[in-house]
Structure 1
Amino acid sequence: MTSTPPTRSGARTGTRTPRERYRDQTRAEIKQIAVSQLAAGGVEGVALLRIAKEIGMSGPALYRYFASRDDLLGELVVDAYQAVAADIRAVDISSGGRAALHALATAFRDWAVAQPHLYLLIQGTPVPGFRAPDETVAHAREVLGPFLTVFAGGRPSGSVEPLVGEFGRWLRDDAAVAAWVEKWTGLSSEEAAVALTGAITAWPQLHGTVGLEAAGQFAGMGHRPTTLLAAQVDMLADAFQLA
């Protein structure tokens, strides 16, 4: 996201000039229209010139707010991650264990199916050559943070022990990942590797079921996606012996 411009000379710290407020409002309006275009026609439906026309602005003028469509898409990706992270953090996981894992998975699925256009935007590379902002990794980790907390109480079964070993080496080799896990779990030993393994294993499980539902791939099949997701969460909980 763009940083806040410095306040003009003589202004109180924290105040914003009318020009700054207008710029923020215009950027927000541009993003709102882009999200509507995304919902109507997917990523290919997002067009800067059409956005400019809708808000009564020339194309060159709009480029003063977003340098390119990729720039705009990058901010939408970050906004989407922030939104789903907020929903995940709002989940009460104080019960811990299996019940908390189900609650987190349900919150993730609810967010995705309520706005599949945003979920599909962050699921993968939206357009050839697009590179998400570097800060995207940090926002994605905020989504997974509460899962680390839940899996910190797990005991891995034999089937996932090889993964625990590999993720343990990742923790030792990557200080940023180790700090992230410790932030959410308070752990910095072998137990931290268990938490990391559980959270990272949950990620493809969630995307597999939720992604297929968001893309409409379950249409006509004889099951409810929520039932399938619940079964997958239970299998994951069993693999880490969550009570």
Structure 2
Amino acid sequence: MPPSASSTPPAAQTPRQRYRAQVQQEVKQAALAQIAAGGIEALSINAIAKTLGMSGPALYKYFRNRDDLLTALISDGYEDAADVTREAARRAADASPRDRLLALAHAFRDWALAQPHRYLLLAGTPAVAYEAPAHTAESARKVLGPFLAVLAEGRPWPAAEPLYGEVRAWVAGTPAVADWAAAYTSVADPVPTLAATILAWTRIHGIVSLEVQGLFANMGHDPATLLTLEIGSLADTAGLGSTATS
């Protein structure tokens, strides 16, 4: 959880806590407006404080520094994207595994295109000398949970064995990853599913990042078509059928 966030339910908060949460939200909204207008380079604590009628030192009562604010924005972005993938999974619950995977991929793309400034906070290094804290990885895994659940219905494939070995070592050294897999799947060995999820995430990010940056301009294709082909190919390789099962 971001250091500046509160885990106390709003109904149980004191007036002071509610006021603090309100100001933090206003600060984050002002920061996102800056980033949307001028990129991450436009983010200025002093400018945010001025917009909100505060002094710079007063704002630091709510976020310790720029990095603390960036971390809150990144965590919020992952939580928002996770809501989107969960809702896409719910809407596609009766579809085939292949179509559910495609629905998740396109829902994430739609989210990224609707607010590219937030997507770019998640997709790369948002600022010089900034490194996202380890706890943001938990938020990122929430986005991928629905993908994990679908890909658990697939099958391993021999060509991915080199990746399986690396993922197995990752799981062994990171208990939180094993817990994450167990929360979304009931498979005895989560490694093939985790590897397939990494591959899906890589393909989605590859296409979405290029599109958000405008690097598909004048190339004569619809990136949505490319995403369908890439994720469809992965689904086929993973053995996810194209028709719903009864």
Give the TM-score normalised by the residue count of structure 1.
0.90
* Aligned partners of 1:151 and 1:199 also within 8 Å: yes
Aligned to 2:130: 130
Structure 2 Cα separation of the partners of residues 27 and 88 of structure 1: 26
My pick for the range that moved more, 43-52 or 152-161, is 152-161
Identity %: 47
2:50 aligns with: 53
Q: Aligned Cα RMSD in Å?
A: 2.0
Q: Residue 60 of structure 1 aligns to a residue in which SS?
A: helix
SS state at 2:12 partner: coil
CA contact (8 A) 1:112 1:210 kept: yes
Matched, 1:175 2:175: yes
Q: Which runs of 5+ in 1 are unaligned?
A: 8-12
Q: Structure 2: state its 5+ residue gaps.
A: 242-246
Equivalent position SS for 1:90: helix
Greater length-normalized contact order (CA 8 Å, ≥ 6 residues apart): 2
2:87 pairs with 1:87: no
CA distance in 2, matches of 1:124, 1:158: 31
| Shift in Å, 1:153 | 1.1
Counterparts in 2 of 1:126 and 1:5: CA distance versus 1, 3 Å = closer
- In structure 1, the residue matched to 2:199 is 201
Alignment partners' CA distance in 1, 2:60 and 2:50: 13
Amino acid at match of 1:231: L
Match of 1:215 in 2: 213
Partner amino acid for 1:117?
Answer: H
The CA distance in 2 between the partners of 1:6 and 1:122, in whole Å, is: 26
Q: Structure 2 length normalisation: TM-score?
A: 0.89
1:144 aligns with 2:144: yes
Per mean C-alpha deviation after superposition, the further-off stretch among 125-134 and 83-92 is 125-134
Asked if structure 2 preserves the Cα contact closer than 8 Å seen for 1:88 and 1:104, the reply is yes
Summarize the Cα distance change of 1:238–1:67 in structure 2 as closer, same or farther, 3 Å threshold: same
* Deviation at residue 3 of structure 1 after TM alignment: 4.7
Give the CA deviation at 1:5. Answer: 8.6
SS in 1 for 2:154: coil
Report the AA paired with residue 32 of structure 2.
V
Separation of aligned partners in 1, 2:113 and 2:185: 29
- 2:115 aligned partner, one-letter code: Q
Does 2:6 match 1:4? yes
CA distance in 2, matches of 1:35, 1:106: 24
How far apart are residue 178 of structure 1 and its match? 1.4
- TM-aligned CA deviation for residue 108 of structure 1: 0.6
Q: How much does 1:156 deviate?
A: 2.8
Q: Could you list the per-position Cα deviations for residues 89-148 of structure 1 after superposition, in whole angstroms to 9, with x for gaps in the alignment?
A: 112343342111100001110000000000001111111210213211101111111111
User: Which residue of structure 1 aligns with residue 244 of structure 2?
Assistant: none
Deviation at 1:197, TM superposition (A): 1.1
From the CA coordinates, give the structure whose radius of gyration is larger.
1
Shift of 1:14: 5.1
Runs (4 or more) in structure 1 with deviation over 4 Å come to none
Question: 2:232 is matched with which residue: 206, 231, 234?
Answer: 234
- Range that drifts further, 162-171 or 40-49: 162-171
